[in-house]
Amino acid sequence: MATQTVEEMAAGLFHDVAIPTIHIGMATCGLAAGARSIEELVVKELEKRGIDARIVPTGCIGMCHNEPLVDITMPGKYRVSYRNVKALIIPQIFDAHFVKGEFAKKYAVCQIPIAGHTAYEGLPLMAETGFFKGQVKIVSSRCGLIDPSSIDDYIATNGYKALRKMLTEMTPEIVIDEMTKSGLRGRGGGGFYTGLKWKLTRQSPGEEKYVVCNADEGDPGAFMDRSILEGDPHSVLEGMLAAAYAIGNAKKGYIYCRAEYPLAIKRLRKAIDDARERNFLGDNILGTDFSFDITIKEGAGAYVCGEETALLASLMGERGMPWPKPPFPAQKGVWGKPTVINNVETLGNVGHIILSGGDWYASYGSEKTKGTKTFALTGSIKNSGLIEVPAGTPLRSIVFDIGGGMLEKKIPFKAAQLGGPSGGCIPVTGLDTPVDFENVIAAGAIMGSGGIVIMDEASCIVDTAKFFLKFTQDESCGECTPCRVGSKIMLEILTRITEGKGQEGDLDELIRLSMYVKSNSLCGLGAAAPNPVLSTIRYFREEFEAHIRDKHCPGTVCANLIKYVVIEEDCTTCGLCEPVCPTGSVTWDKGEVAHINLETCIRCKACVDACKFRAII
Amino acid sequence: MAHSDSAAIVQITDEEIDHICEEFGNREGAVVQILQTIQEKYGYVPAEILERVGDDLGIPHSKMFGVLTFYSQFYREPRGKFILKVCVGTACHVRGAGLLVDKIKENLNVEEGENTEDMLFTLEPVSCLGSCALAPMAMVNGNTYGKLSGDKMVEILRQIKDESSAEPVSEATPAS
């Protein structure tokens, strides 16, 4: 049985709807871009024109660079998606749909097909646009399409069908078999086989077991789990239900969600309440003897709690410090009982796998990493947002096809940072790396939870390494010495280098310390902390040496190592740079090339930003 | 103004604290949530309240202190009415979050982690708010602002100040 196509899924949402529907992207990214005021304007405009339409908030469809997004679906027609919607263009869009019976070509980005409805001419389908072409949406398939606070929308798009199928047709062993067949591996970055984890927990003796969802997404530059929680919260609940059924004797589950995600927590609360009301959660679910309920635990701000044993400690009201494994959570987890702990994205995939089969899921992806993976694509890239691609998709295609290439055409690609503070940088020469667990590790980074930050030539590699190490150093819980002290000394060396006080031998010392911290730390946080340093030294040794020997920062980021100069050939003598300088260090006369006085220059970069011709570097 | 001085805190009675602990069944495992509930109500967790919670749950004061100071979200001092969470995560860092923080420091005459003198603002750089496509971004009492520049941020601060002086009792509503 194949999973639903986008068309079929969308059709479920418009069953019996005879009036126009206006979808507005209201995930955190949409709200930050001003979706709330757009909604008010849409309501006003509808009232003014006397139009009866329903307004439906949705999660994130992934095109964060195009927010705020507004979709209009006229009865019987495909759903038209508008990007960067501002107050002024709303009347134009409304004129097109409600007066002329067409769409506003100038602002439309694509149309989303709905089975049984008809298409507009001259507007690409969603799957044909550059951003969506290489994507395969499984776990994020509902995000942006449905109203995440409506359980009916979830049910209309095959929601809770997997639960029903599981309870009526499948034994727990068969559920585990399907998960094993699917080859699904932990999407939080650990990469442990989900089927095996469930099997081990099932085999652990115990009358009382627990299911924990790790929603403590802490990597800076990563928001995959937030998008799923905000866009399709029920899919995570359904995944937890499957885990509970599979391991047996589990009556209670916890979702440990970081407090920085207030909207995700709100959506989860609503989803849990609604699921209880329909008896998808609670006692005797759907009339069977299977009972399970879920509680949300809010994190309190500690990155290390993303590590599973630290998370469990925090869940039990302790300081969130990791414990040495074994015992593994599958043996001794919450309150000392066998516990399955899975990440949000992993659980979000489960319903799809149960419904369409492990073999179907395994038909996507690469040899050792099956299925799809979501990534948060950010940094100096044109199309930043949330994407989902088959594992093994080359990095080049993610950056230049889906991502649309560099944000500023003139500044070329320098590196992609994968895996956040535990990951590393992949340079131009690694662009053909297939992005899956094994190949990314071979390239010196990790796939991690899915953060990809693109850096251009105007960024500094040493500064980036320092940034990540400062993060892990701040977040080190202090329990073991290699991580607590080692990362501090490494940070001191890196800081020295970026301040122009680097010494010969610093790089060797960094590598030596890195190896020590890596092999002697207690948990994953410390063991991975040196990765950003090691991978950048491996690929960008020259840039480190430029900082140390020449006291020069090629990316013009490290303030102490910048000497701004005006390139005479490129200067158009326009004078834009002169008035923006706060210290009066830029001198310019009409028709003359500008000059910068380095003695008084404070390296604020104002002149560089003001220059439209990139004549100041 | 809410949580502006410790005088307001004196009004919290031991009974109120006991009541909150009871709501969570006086369970040791609920200590983080109990502290979260207290902080949500009073803005921070004063030392004497921390001890009272410890007594109620049968947890030593040293351990209570350990838990409180482990998590970056808990505060032992009063904080401003508006919490400026400025994202300094990777994507925001790459797009100039550092300059944004500098601009706020200059505009409000405040250091990272500190309150303004009038207790209106607290500046709190955070690791990642998860809206990297809109970098650099900030969150003020749950409301998100994206694609910020120094000038845009100053304008937002000015608006908040104006609105706050117009209706002194209103709290900004979190994004929903």
DSSP secondary structure string for all residues of B54-79: HHHHT--HHHHHHHHHHSTT--SS--
A contacts of B95 (beta carbons < 8 Å): 379
Which of B57, B134, B153 should be substituted to probe chain A, the one whose Cβ sees the most A Cβ atoms within 10 Å? B134
A contacts of B132 (beta carbons < 8 Å): 64, 221-223, 376, 378-379, 384, 453
| Per-residue pLDDT, A564 | 84
Nearest Cα to Cα of residue A384 among A393, A373, A396, A375: A375
User: Residue B11 — pLDDT band, cuts 50, 70, 90?
Assistant: low
Q: Which residues pair with A118 in a beta bridge?
A: A77
Shortest distance, CA A166 to any CA of chain B (angstroms): 33
> Are A420 and B90 inside 8 Å of each other by CB?
yes
- A402, burial (CB in 10 Å: exposed 0-12, middle 13-18, buried 19+): buried
Residues B52/B13, Cβ–Cβ less than 8 Å:
no
A33, A223, A385 member nearest B146 (Cβ): A33
Structure tokens at A419: 């895996």
Shortest distance, CA B43 to any CA of chain A (angstroms): 14
| Per-residue pLDDT, B2 | 41
Domain positions in chain B: 10-70, 82-166
B contacts of A259 (beta carbons < 8 Å): 36, 73
At residue A393, φ and ψ (nearest 5 deg) are: -65, 130
pLDDT at B13 over 50: yes
Q: What ipTM is given for this predicted complex?
A: 0.81
Q: Edge-to-edge strands of the sheet including B121-126?
A: B121-126, B82-87, B138-140, B143-145
Structure tokens at B174: 């979190």
Nearest Cα to Cα of residue A74 among A41, A96, A43: A96
> Are A379 and B90 inside 8 Å of each other by CB?
yes
Cα A584 → chain centroid? 43
Q: Give the single-character DSSP code of A372.
A: E
A266, A320, A417 member nearest B70 (Cβ): A320
Q: Which residue of A has its CA nearest to B176?
A: A263
Structure tokens at B142: 């749950």
The answer for residues whose C-beta is within 8 angstroms of residue A571's C-beta and 6 or more apart is A593, A594, A613, A615
pLDDT at B94 over 80: no
Structure tokens at A298: 């809010």
Examine residue A68 and say whether the peptide bond preceding it is cis (omega within 30 degrees of 0).
yes
Nearest Cα to Cα of residue A397 among A407, A412, A387, A408: A387
Cβ-Cβ pairs closer than 8 A, A with B, add up to 137
Structure tokens at B78: 């009063």
Q: Which residues pair with B124 in a beta bridge?
A: B85
Rounded Cα distance between A214 and A300, Å, is: 14
Return the axis-axis angle of helices B31-42 and B61-70, rounded to nearest 10°. 70
Domains of chain A: 6-128 (3.40.30.10), 151-361 (3.40.50.11540), 372-456 (3.10.20.600), 461-548 (1.20.1440.230), 563-617 (3.30.70.20)
> Are A319 and B174 inside 8 Å of each other by CB?
no
> Are A459 and B144 inside 8 Å of each other by CB?
no
Nearest Cα to Cα of residue A383 among B47, B82, B77, B133: B133
> Are B134 and A29 inside 8 Å of each other by CB?
yes
Q: Give the single-character DSSP code of A62.
A: S
At residue A461, φ and ψ (nearest 5 deg) are: -70, -40
A contacts of B70 (beta carbons < 8 Å): 302, 319-321, 477
> Are A451 and B90 inside 8 Å of each other by CB?
yes
Residues A437/A369, Cβ–Cβ less than 8 Å:
yes
Instruction: Give exposure, B102-116, as e/b (b: 16+ Cβ within 10 Å).
Output: ebbeeebebeeebbb
| Mean of pLDDT over chain B | 84
pLDDT along chain A (617 residues), means of 10: 71 88 92 92 96 95 92 96 95 96 95 94 94 95 95 96 97 98 95 97 97 93 92 98 97 94 94 98 97 95 90 94 92 96 98 97 96 94 94 97 93 94 94 96 92 92 92 90 96 95 95 96 91 96 95 86 85 89 87 87 82 85
Rounded Cα distance between B163 and A258, Å, is: 30
Rounded Cα distance between A327 and A334, Å, is: 12
Nearest Cα to Cα of residue A31 among A59, A7, A12, A4: A59
User: Residue B99 — pLDDT band, cuts 50, 70, 90?
Assistant: confident
Query: How many Cβ atoms from other residues are within 10 Å of residue A101's Cβ?
Result: 9
In the 3-class helix/strand/coil scheme, how is A414-483 assigned residue by residue?
EEEEECHHHCEEEEHHHCCCECCHHHHHHCCCCCCCCEEEEEECCCCHHHHHHHHHHHHHHHCCCCCHHH
What SS3 state is found at A58? strand
What SS3 state is found at A319? coil
Structure tokens at A172: 């727990």
> Are A384 and B144 inside 8 Å of each other by CB?
no
Residues A549/A496, Cβ–Cβ less than 8 Å:
no
> Are B145 and A32 inside 8 Å of each other by CB?
yes
> Are A67 and B36 inside 8 Å of each other by CB?
no
A300, A384, A417 member nearest B73 (Cβ): A300
Rounded Cα distance between B124 and B127, Å, is: 10
What SS3 state is found at A400? helix
Q: Which residue of B has its CA nearest to A317?
A: B29
Shortest distance, CA B90 to any CA of chain A (angstroms): 5
Rounded Cα distance between A320 and A300, Å, is: 10
| Per-residue pLDDT, B167 | 58
Within 13 Å of residue A362, how many CA atoms lie on the same side as its CB? Answer: 16
Rounded Cα distance between A363 and A345, Å, is: 18
B36, B67, B133 member nearest A378 (Cβ): B133
| Per-residue pLDDT, A1 | 41
Nearest Cα to Cα of residue A314 among A243, A257, A263: A257
B74 inside 8 A of chain A by CB? yes
> Are B175 and A28 inside 8 Å of each other by CB?
yes
B contacts of A602 (beta carbons < 8 Å): none
B152 inside 8 A of chain A by CB? no
Q: Nearest-5° angle of CA B59, CA B60, CA B64?
A: 75
Q: Which residue of A has its CA nearest to B86?
A: A260
Q: Which residue of B has its CA nearest to A260?
A: B129
B contacts of A450 (beta carbons < 8 Å): none
B 9-48 residues inside an 8 A Cβ radius of A: 27-33, 35-36
pLDDT at B172 over 70: no
> Are A453 and B90 inside 8 Å of each other by CB?
yes
Rounded Cα distance between A209 and A252, Å, is: 8
| Per-residue pLDDT, A3 | 61
Shortest distance, CA B110 to any CA of chain A (angstroms): 20
Q: Which residues pair with A379 in a beta bridge?
A: A454
DSSP string, chain B: -TT-SHHHHTT--HHHHHHHHHHTTT-GGGHHHHHHHHHHHHSS--HHHHHHHHHHHT--HHHHHHHHHHSTT--SS---SEEEEEE-SHHHHHTTHHHHHHHHHHHHT--TTPBPTTSSEEEEEES--S-GGG-S-EEETTEEE-S--HHHHHHHHHHHHHHHHHSTTPPPPPP-
> Are A384 and B133 inside 8 Å of each other by CB?
yes
pLDDT at B176 over 50: no
| Per-residue pLDDT, B170 | 40
Which of B21, B24, B32 should be substituted to probe chain A, the one whose Cβ sees the most A Cβ atoms within 10 Å? B32
Within 13 Å of residue A137, how many CA atoms lie on the same side as its CB? Answer: 24
How far is CA A349 from each of CA A252, A272, A290, A501, rounded to the nearest angstrom?
A: 20, 18, 22, 49
B contacts of A319 (beta carbons < 8 Å): 66-67, 70
A33, A300, A471 member nearest B74 (Cβ): A300
Hey, what CATH topology would domain B82-166 get?
Glutaredoxin (3.40.30)
Instruction: Give exposure, A497-516, as e/b (b: 16+ Cβ within 10 Å).
Output: bbebebeeebbeebeebbee
> What is the helix (H) or strand (E) element at residue A72, kind and residue range?
strand A70-73
Structure tokens at B63: 């351990």
Rounded Cα distance between B122 and B115, Å, is: 4
Residues A197/A340, Cβ–Cβ less than 8 Å:
yes
> Are A32 and B134 inside 8 Å of each other by CB?
yes
> Are B130 and A28 inside 8 Å of each other by CB?
yes
- Cα-Cα end-to-end distance for chain B: 24
Place of tokens 């307001």: B8
